[in-house]
């Protein structure tokens, strides 16, 4: 795959020297947030990771090249471009062969991180089993990559627009641990509460690093989900956000929005319905996850 991948010199040096690196996705830049908040968020996330002693590696496809580690100019370009492809596993060949621009989803970012040897990845929330999946079979590719790639994913749980109970069941079937960071309850993206329990609670980055080190040292394949709740200061009221999600889901059904378009549509509608409060929460939970991911990466490299 190296002929299609460009690794930023700073990231390459860190990988070769076994220094802590944190992968970052780019769909959140091109599809998850409006301009200019997306640029501010992306650059701030990288700074947070650097301040914790790790190297950030934002991943995207620019003009048909997989980039592992973007420059500030490339981040700004991606944030402003229109018609950026949302890239999952099935889209790599098309996007690269056509020399298009692509933003990597959680699953695509995990794939690239695994290819180049990055073990820790920070994102907002993972995808999962969509509501009414019994009829639609709409299940995020994120879950398959979590089952197959040795990457620790730090997130604020699964996006609350999903069927969280079925998402947990799917991950259990695939043998993916869900670790609650300082909590025994699955966070639900915008809110700290879901009413669902996680597999295990761990309370320090060192404990998480030790778990992933032991798992992969045993030769057990697959990722780990570290569910890190949004801080209490920015957590939204569960009953209110649930009402707005129901309204957004109804709008999606009325407009026949499906597949890879459903998540950006729902996030955009929820932002409008909450008068921007959900966007503020989204930005803060990403910062929170980036900090923890960097701490875990530092501890893991020490092992």
Interval 227-272: pLDDT, tens = 999 999 999 988 888 888 888 888 888 998 877 788 778 778 888 8
Give, in order, the Cα–Cα distances in Å from 56 to each of 46, 221, 252, 264.
5, 24, 35, 24
Instruction: State the pLDDT at residue 274.
Output: 85
Rama region for 202: left / alpha / beta (φ>0; ψ in -120 to 50; rest): beta
- Catalytic option among 25, 52, 149, 177: 25
Residue 259's φ and ψ, nearest 5 degrees, are 60, -140
| Catalytic residue status for 159 | yes
- Catalytic option among 67, 86, 159, 277: 159
Q: What is the pLDDT of residues 30-78, one digit of tens each?
A: 998 889 999 999 999 999 999 999 999 999 999 999 999 999 999 999 9
- How would residue 221 be classed by pLDDT, with cut points 50, 70 and 90? very high
Residue 22's φ and ψ, nearest 5 degrees, are -120, 120
Instruction: State the pLDDT at residue 1.
Output: 57
Q: What is the pTM of this model?
A: 0.94
Give 86: exposed, middle or buried? Use CB within 10 Å, 0-12, 13-18, 19+. buried
Instruction: State the pLDDT at residue 233.
Output: 94
Dihedral angle computed from the Cα positions of residues 184, 118, 82 and 93, in that order, rounded to the nearest 10 degrees? -120
* C-alpha triplet 148, 150, 152: angle, nearest 5°: 115
Which residue shows structure tokens 């997306």?
Answer: 38
> In percent, how much of the chain has pLDDT > 70?
100
Q: What is the pLDDT of residues 93-146, one digit of tens each?
A: 999 999 999 999 999 999 999 999 999 999 999 999 998 888 889 899 999 999
Nearest to residue 151, comparing CAs of 27, 16, 21?
21
């Amino acid at each position: 795959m190296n002929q299609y991948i460009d690794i930023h010199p700073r990231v390459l040096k860190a990988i070769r020297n076994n220094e802590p690196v944190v992968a970052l996705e780019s769909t959140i830049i091109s599809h998850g947030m409006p301009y200019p908040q997306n640029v501010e968020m992306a650059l701030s996330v990288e700074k947070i990771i650097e301040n914790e002693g790790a190297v950030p590696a934002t991943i995207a496809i620019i003009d048909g090249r997989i980039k592992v580690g973007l420059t500030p100019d490339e981040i700004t370009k991606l944030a402003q471009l229109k018609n950026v492809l949302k890239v999952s596993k099935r889209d790599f060949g098309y996007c690269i062969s056509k020399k298009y621009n692509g933003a990597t989803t959680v699953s695509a970012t995990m794939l690239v991180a695994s290819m180049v040897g990055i073990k820790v990845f920070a994102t907002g929330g993972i995808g999962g089993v969509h509501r009414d999946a019994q009829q639609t079979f709409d299940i995020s590719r994120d879950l398959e990559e979590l089952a197959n790639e040795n990457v620790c994913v730090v997130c604020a749980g699964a996006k609350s627009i999903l069927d969280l109970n079925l998402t947990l069941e799917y991950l259990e079937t695939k043998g993916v641990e869900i670790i609650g960071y300082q909590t025994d309850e699955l966070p639900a993206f915008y809110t700290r509460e879901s009413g669902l329990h996680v597999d295990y609670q761990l309370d320090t980055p060192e404990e998480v690093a030790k778990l992933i080190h032991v798992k992969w040292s045993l030769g057990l394949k697959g990722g780990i989900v570290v569910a890190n709740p949004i801080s209490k200061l920015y957590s939204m009221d569960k009953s209110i956000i649930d009402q707005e999600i129901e309204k957004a889901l109804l709008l999606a059904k009325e407009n026949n929005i499906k597949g890879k378009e459903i998540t950006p549509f729902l996030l955009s509608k929820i932002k409008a319905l909450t008068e921007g409060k959900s966007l503020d929460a989204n930005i803060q939970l990403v910062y929170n996850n980036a900090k923890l991911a960097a701490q875990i990466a530092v501890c893991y490299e020490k092992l």
